[in-house]
Amino acid sequence: MFADLYFSRFLFELKAKEQFSLPAYKGSTFRGAFGHAFKRVVCTLRKNDCADCLLKQRCVYSYIFETPLPDNSPDLAKYRNAPHPFVILPPLDDRKFFPQGATIPFVLTLFGRSVEYLPYFIYTFSELGNTGIGRDRGKFTIARVLRLNGMEGIPVYEGNGSWNLRPVIQGIETSM
């Protein structure tokens, strides 16, 4: 039996509004700040626990952070949730200080249905830029977002509010 794994990769380019610092390994900072901001942005009922939420089956936050197991997946039965359908690849350099105007790039990979939620990711990072990230609560804007296609970057979002959300998904055939 074969199944297709669909994904898309996006390069986010953030622009520092002010000088701030981040740890040498930025992954946990990006992931943690994003998770808190995402819930704040998309959670309608403002519940702390999603388990008993009326909207859980249709909620974007629940799908992204409490991803339900696929039906008929006995190999995953020992898990409460499926793996999150996204990966944030933070800047891999060990820079800690970002002066005003510095560009901070990172790659976001979305898997399966989560590709449909790209605007939520962009909006969340935009809101996170207003509240700040890291110990200094450094503020930033999204300069642009590119869909990565091999060595080419196709503009999806420009910081001025211009969108190009043509659904382009890459696929990998996997055996199941």
Render pLDDT for 121-145 as a digit per residue (tens, 0 to 9).
Answer: 999 999 999 999 988 899 999 999 9
Q: Is the dihedral of CA 19, 22, 26, 32 positive or negative?
A: negative
Under the banding of pLDDT at 50, 70 and 90, the label for residue 171 is low
Under the banding of pLDDT at 50, 70 and 90, the label for residue 104 is very high
Domain range for residue 78? Answer: 2-175
- Whether the predicted pLDDT of 167 surpasses 90: no
Structural domains of the chain, count? 1
Q: Which amino acid is it at 94?
A: D
pLDDT at 173: 47
Beta carbons of 156 and 169 less than 8 angstroms apart: no
Per DSSP, the three-state class of 126 is helix
- Whether the predicted pLDDT of 73 surpasses 80: no
pLDDT at 1: 42
Under the banding of pLDDT at 50, 70 and 90, the label for residue 71 is low
